[in-house]
Every structure is written in C-alpha cells, then in structure tokens.
Chains A and B, each alone.
Chain A
Amino acid sequence: ILNVEQSPQSLHVQEGDSTNFTCSFPSSNFYALHWYRWETAKSPEALFVMTLNGDEKKKGRISATLNTKEGYSYLYIKGSQPEDSATYLCAFTPNTGGFKTIFGAGTRLFVKA
C-alpha cells in the first residue's frame, strides 16, 4: 500500500517564527513529489514539484528539500506571516505505470500576529 504521511497534523506559531513540516513517502518507485498550499475557501495552489534526489527549491520565504533514497521531504517557511496560514499538502507520484497522485492529509499551519 502506497502511503504518504505528513507531520505534524497542525502547528501554531507566532508571526516571525520559522517552521518546517515533514512529508514521508515510499522510497521505492519514486517519480515526483509535489507540495501544495491550500487556503480556506480557495483552490490548492502548487508550490513545488521535485523529481530528483537532493533537489532543493525555493519560492520567496518558502523552500523545500527532497531525499528520495530515504523517502522524505521537508518544507520550510522562514519568518512566518499570518497570510501563510493554510494547509500544506504533500503529494507523491509513484513510477508504477499508472497516473495516480497520492496526497497526505496535510499540515494545518496557524500563524498568529
């Protein structure tokens, strides 16, 4: 069974704090790893798609790393702002001949001003 685990389930931080979340996925049959940000009442928005072991991607204050050999990815937010409050979803695409994208349950981030 292919499973994606995200931790923590939720996180409360103060404005200005830096934070990070973890996504664990099967280390075999890796094809791609996606991070999405989902604000309440909006559609999920793509942050990063990573395909190579050791990939590091950055968009503003948000960055992500990928370790396909051990099956984990970290998402970092530097200097959290209230507008960063959202659910951060991780999704894994296996290389098993299908087109399934498997999502984790997400990490819900609350940033208090």
Chain B
Amino acid sequence: GAGVSQSPRYKVAKRGQDVALRCDPISGHVSLFWYQQALGQGPEFLTYFQNEAQLDKSGLPSDRFFAERPEGSVSTLKIQRTQQEDSAVYLCASSLEGTYNEQFFGPGTRLTVL
C-alpha cells in the first residue's frame, strides 16, 4: 500500500514569503506528527494530531507556524513570513494511534529560505 507522501519535496522561498507544506498520511492512521530537522540533528517535534484534533502543539517555534488536519487525513503545515532560520527538512509521520506505535515517515520537504 501507499506510504506517507509529502509535497513539495523541495521548496525555495524568499524571506518573508508564506509557505504551505502538505502531508498525506497512510490511510486509516489516526495519529499524525510534524517534525523539523536541522542539519546534523535529529528530528524535532513540532505538533501532533489525533484525527482532526491538534492535541499537542508545544513544539511549534513561533506563532508564524500553523498546522491543520481538517478532515482527519491530509495535513498542512503553514509557515508565515518565513525567516532564514526556518530552513530545514520538515518531516511528517503517521501511526495507527498514539506514541507507542511505530511511526511511518514521509520523505520530507526540504525548505530553503533565502
């Protein structure tokens, strides 16, 4: 079956632009995670959805970051007024439910802010 997909795979934005990153999780997966990965580091948690409910957004670095999953499947991570420090790989993962099941990761979106 299809895995987790993300689009676009690469995004170049000028500082100050808004960007939207999409994640298509595995069908039937209740849980969805967003991570930010800087070069040489492990993925850093941004936010968690259970179906359409955003239950944990403690990792979002600023109010410029916003995520939604309105119908409990596809999710979008939006970054407003991008800054150079937002340059990173953004990973999406889904799991059957909760944080005790394995997470299936997408290929990531590499965002470069000039």
Contact = CB atoms under 8 A, between A and B. Distances in A.
Interface of A: 4, 31-32, 34, 36, 42-46, 49, 51, 89, 91, 93, 98-106
Q: How large is the interface on B (under 10, 10 to 19, 20 to 34, 35 or more residues)?
A: 20 to 34
Interface string B56-83: 1011000000000000000000000000
Contact of A99 (B55, B106, B107): B55
A43 B100 contact: no
Contacts of B25: none
Given A43-B107, A100-B56, A101-B103, A106 B42 contact: yes
Contact of B42 (A46, A51, A89): A89
Interface of B: 3-4, 31, 33, 35, 40-45, 48, 50, 55-56, 58-59, 91, 93, 98-108
A106 B44 CA distance: 12
A56 B73 CA distance: 34
Nearest to B59: A100
A91 B102 CA distance: 11
Given A32-B99, A100-B59, 18 more contacts: A36-B103, A43-B106, A43-B108, A44-B91, A45-B105, A46-B102, A49-B100, A89-B43, A93-B99, A98-B58, A99-B99, A100-B56, A100-B58, A101-B33, A101-B45, A101-B99, A104-B42, A105-B41
